[in-house]
Amino acid sequence: DQQVKQNSPSLSVQEGRISILNCDYTNSMFDYFLWYKKYPAEGPTFLISISSIKDKNEDGRFTVFLNKSAKHLSLHIVPSQPGDSAVYFCAASATSGTYKYIFGTGTRLKVLA
């Protein structure tokens, strides 16, 4: 049972354009969400988070949007840069529980120069 889904395994975007990565979840108890970025041969690194009390969080070129009614979140990268090429994982947690995160399967982003 995949509680966190990233339905696009890969995405290619031109440099300077917007990258939109999507994530859907099924568990209504999830109230805290993270995006991680992973380069080859490295562990995932934290990118940006959002709590369910918000519908948007912005950090520089990265913005995460949360639509609780649709159980959907998205990560926008504007403008995209070649260094953004990596695998992006969304993760969700129910903070009333044990803070464990359930990860999606990842989306491989390739930003073309």
Per CB under 8 A, the list member of 13, 19, 36, 63 interacting with other proteins is 36
Per CB under 8 A, the list member of 1, 41, 60, 113 interacting with other proteins is 41
**Closer by beta carbon to other proteins, 32 or else 65:** 32
**What tokens were used for 7?**
């339905």
- Total binding residues toward other proteins, as defined by CB under 8 A: 24
Distance CA 61, CA 109 (A): 15
Please check whether residue 63 is in contact with residue 57, taking contact to mean a CB–CB distance below 8 angstroms. Answer: yes
> What's the sign of the alpha-carbon dihedral 23, 62, 84, 111?
positive
**Closer by beta carbon to other proteins, 88 or else 111:** 88
Distance CA 25, CA 64 (A): 15
Cα 19 to Cα 14, 22, 26, 50, distances in angstroms: 9, 10, 24, 18
Per CB under 8 A, the list member of 43, 53, 69, 96 interacting with other proteins is 43
- Smallest gap, in angstroms, from Cβ of residue 63 to other proteins? 17
**Position 1 contacts other proteins (CB under 8 A):** no
**What tokens were used for 79?**
């403008």
Interface with other proteins by CB under 8 A: which residues? 4, 6, 9, 34, 36, 41-46, 49, 89, 91, 95, 98-106
